[in-house]
Amino acid sequence: MNLSDSQRENLRRITEDIVDLPTLPVVVVQIMEMVDNPKTSAADLTRLISSDQSLTAKMLKLANSAFYGFPRRIGTIGLAVVVLGFDTIKNLVLSISVLEKFSRSRSGQMFDRMGFWEHSIGCGVAGRFLARKLGYRVSGEAFVAGLLHDLGKLILSQYLVEEFSQCLQIAIKDDLFIRDAEKTVLGVTHAEVGGWLAEEWNLPRQLVEAIHFHHNPARAKKDRELVALTHLADVLCRAEKVGFSGDSKGAILDPEALEIFSINGKEISEDTFVKFKDGFREELSKAAVFNSMIRR
């Protein structure tokens, strides 16, 4: 990540206090490594996923949900691997495990945990939807980027309870974006903290960037389209009031996010973007299966 010296110092100060770093389940890490290994066969992947019963059940539930909308029933992991493909499987596994493991984490009273997860899922759905509309090649990755973009808020609400509550209070009192309140109180924002954790988890570079730069997509280097999609997904969810990101202030669309697409010949204007609202709502109605995975 390219951080300024003072940001780096603030991030180090904050993260070195987090002794029990939240980790991804071992099986998830193994699956992600397997998918990235060109020598892995469908049978290898099937065997590993099937060794985890709860993951298997959830994978099949998702694969058969309206969100994926396959014409025939997917009854086994073996079939899911073949039909969905390695990358979709990887994205599903990551999404399931994050929802499962982190939606039950405790946080300060000020933090609207349910609202946060609804916002995150909404951004995942919006990311995939916009990716398809704008011809971005891996819509599944756009889903994960949307789902994880505010990960840093989860970390702050869990590990820096006092400071983060203070950020939320200041944001309301002074009518600030949370990220600006975070800069004042902590010296870094949830975007940087989330990017740091994604790096610790060895997530793909482009996902780290999407999380890190979701407020200012033009600063991304690796995959600017994915970062711009994540920014647009966030704006769309906040405009449509899907869940609650913790920010009462209306989202501001960074025109550079639209430009990133125009450069690549996929012209999009603010008017076109607004017209996406209806389609997004329809997609969201198919995504209830994710909400059922939030631990209440």
Provide the b/e sequence for 26-43 (b: ≥16 CB within 10 Å).
Answer: ebbbbbbebbeeeeeeee
Minimal distance, residue 237 CB to Fe ion, in Å = 7
Report the candidate in 68, 65, 26, 28 with the shortest Cα–Cα distance to residue 45. Answer: 28
Nearer CB in complex with Fe ion: 1/79: 1
DSSP H stretches of helix in the chain? 5-15, 26-36, 42-50, 53-63, 77-84, 86-102, 113-133, 139-148, 151-159, 161-173, 178-186, 190-200, 205-212, 224-239, 255-263, 270-275, 277-285, 288-291
Q: Does 254 bind Fe ion (CB under 5 A)?
A: no
Task: Decide if 258 contacts 225 (C-beta within 8 A).
Answer: no
Contacting range for Fe ion; rule: CB under 5 A; set: 51-59, 103-111, 146-154, 180-188: 146-154
Nearer CB in complex with Fe ion: 118/234: 234
Task: Decide if 143 contacts 128 (C-beta within 8 A).
Answer: yes
Minimal distance, residue 193 CB to Fe ion, in Å = 11
CA–CA dist 236, 123 (Å, integer): 8
CA–CA dist 153, 245 (Å, integer): 9
Minimal distance, residue 296 CB to Fe ion, in Å = 21
List 52, 118, 141, 150, residue binding Fe ion (CB under 5 A):
150
Minimal distance, residue 179 CB to Fe ion, in Å = 6
Q: Does 283 bind Fe ion (CB under 5 A)?
A: no
Nearer CB in complex with Fe ion: 24/123: 123
Residue ranges in 206-235 that form contacts with Fe ion under rule CB under 5 A: 234
Q: Does 245 bind Fe ion (CB under 5 A)?
A: yes
Minimal distance, residue 20 CB to Fe ion, in Å = 24
> How many residues in the chain?
296
Nearer CB in complex with Fe ion: 74/232: 232
Kindly determine how many residues on this chain lie close enough to bind Fe ion according to the rule CB under 5 A: 3
Nearer CB in complex with Fe ion: 88/158: 158
Report the candidate in 49, 284, 282 with the shortest Cα–Cα distance to residue 146. Answer: 284
218 three-class SS:
helix
Minimal distance, residue 116 CB to Fe ion, in Å = 9
CA–CA dist 143, 112 (Å, integer): 22
Nearer CB in complex with Fe ion: 209/234: 234
Minimal distance, residue 91 CB to Fe ion, in Å = 19
Note the residues at the interface with Fe ion (CB under 5 A): 150, 234, 245
